Amino acid sequence: MSLHSAVKLLEHRPRKQTKAEYIPYEYTKDEDQLRERSRTINRHGTSISIPPTLLRQATCERAPSYVGVKPTILIYNSDTLETPLYTAIKDIRAIRSDECLWIDVPVTQDEALLTSISERFKIHPLVIADIETTEQRTKLDVFEDAFFLVLKLIYPTRGTDETSIDQICFYMKENILITFQQKPKEIFDPIKNRICQNRGRIRKSKIDYLFYSLFDTIVERYMDVLDGVGIKIEAIEHNLMEKLSRDTLASIYELKREMLFFRGSIVPLKEIIIKLQKEEETQIIQEGTIIYLKDLYDHVVQVNDTIDAYREMLASFIDFYMMINSNGMNEVMKTLTIISTIFIPLTFIVGVYGMNFDNMPEIHWKYGYMGVLVCMVTLTIIMLSCFKKKKWF
């Protein structure tokens, strides 16, 4: 078979069905019912809840002031950059084949905005329902001509020792990337500045490189959070060596629960990055970006290794705490045992001479009382010397 015939055969080979084909968009009759069904599934599917020590961003009921915030729109290529002003999503012009479009939606509480984006870019209603649901797990959904990614943004709160948790969604298709945030943040501002100033490779590359840059920014925030956790672990280790406290034990359990949540949110990223690198999964990721995804994979592995190391350290701290606590109790029991052992023969002597018999010669001796006291003191010294020689204290 010739090379030309082989290529023709591959082009006409039956295509594997994707997730989007199981629930076609045109068959969706009741979008509100689909959204409610998605929310119900997500509520029941949450296996690890957010620890109380993490600050979860406000939902739509708690943050009505964010409704109406305009998204950022960037249309760029290597030579030009547009930041168009618009009155509706439908007014955004169609982009050329050599241009890239990035829409950064700063809030997900504006249902009208999400609906208009869905209609303009043919986004499936179940994807919009996942974007509106803040309790989503980390996942990647691959469609015929696009993919949808849900990430957990974990970042240190500025000016405090607390850590915040947020959800960021990516919807990407050819030359188009849409990011959805729960709350306006400055995390992507450096990327926007690089695009505006035409620095780096973003303007010279396809939209997949922008996706990589945003993804890498989120992973860097994971490292910043873990650096803060490392400082807390060092403080706990110092406290354990200085004194035992229930507050220290409570801090250990809080950090351990945070590490469990981090692990559940970050571990799936390894499989997601591997899936993005596969050619048969999606045609959006360019071959030149694969090497950057491999570097991103190394960063994610490093984050996972750090989380596992911290979890082991916290588990060892708990064992150390229990061991020190047990040793302290053993010291108390040893002291009480020594005291009890010393008083056993003394109690015997006192008991013997406390009996009320008439014919006890020692009772009538002139130095009987002093003799008994000297005998008791001598016996105590001998027993203490024996205990000391055996290194019992």
Question: Residue 374 burial by CB count (10 A; 0-12/13-18/19+): exposed, middle or buried?
Answer: exposed
Same domain, 236 and 368: no
- Among 296, 323, 350, identify where a domain stops: 323
- Among 290, 323, 356, identify where a domain stops: 323
Contacts of residues 27-34 at CB distance under 8 Å and 24 or more positions apart, as own/partner, are 28/124, 28/125, 31/125, 34/125, 34/126, 34/129
Interior CA angle at 154 toward 321 and 276, to 5°? Answer: 120
7 within a domain of the structure (yes/no): no
40 within a domain of the structure (yes/no): no
Per-residue model confidence as pLDDT tens for the chain (393 residues): 443 444 344 344 444 334 333 333 343 445 555 445 444 444 433 445 667 667 665 443 444 455 557 888 999 998 899 888 777 788 888 888 889 999 999 888 888 888 889 999 989 888 998 998 877 889 999 888 889 999 998 887 776 667 888 899 999 998 899 999 988 888 899 999 999 998 888 999 999 999 999 999 999 999 989 998 898 898 888 888 777 777 888 888 888 888 888 888 898 999 999 988 875 555 788 888 889 999 999 999 999 999 999 999 999 988 888 888 777 788 888 888 888 888 888 888 888 888 877 777 777 787 888 888 888 899 889 888 888 888 777
44 within a domain of the structure (yes/no): no
Buried residues in 217-231 as b, exposed as e (16+ CB within 10 A): bbbebbeebbeebee
- Among 323, 357, 378, identify where a domain stops: 323
- The amino acid occupying position 94 is A
Same domain, 184 and 289: yes
Same domain, 120 and 181: yes
Phi-psi region of 352 (alpha: psi -120 to 50; beta: other; left: phi over 0): alpha
57 within a domain of the structure (yes/no): no
Q: Which of 322, 301, 308, 326 is nearest to 256 (CA)?
A: 308
Mean pLDDT of the chain: 79
366 within a domain of the structure (yes/no): yes
Same domain, 87 and 159: yes
Same domain, 172 and 268: yes
Same domain, 269 and 386: no
| Locus of tokens 């043919």 | 122
Q: Which of 103, 127, 108, 104 is nearest to 58 (CA)?
A: 108
Same domain, 349 and 299: no
Same domain, 197 and 307: yes
Same domain, 276 and 312: yes
CATH of the domain at 376: 1.20.58.340
30 within a domain of the structure (yes/no): no
Same domain, 146 and 199: yes
133 within a domain of the structure (yes/no): yes
* Per-residue pLDDT tens digits for 324-368: 877 778 888 888 888 888 888 888 888 888 887 777 777 778 788
CATH of the domain at 75: 3.30.460.20
Same domain, 195 and 79: yes
376 within a domain of the structure (yes/no): yes
Same domain, 87 and 233: yes
| Number of C-beta neighbours around residue 110 at 10 A | 19
What is the span of the domain harbouring residue 228? 64-323
Domain count, the chain: 2
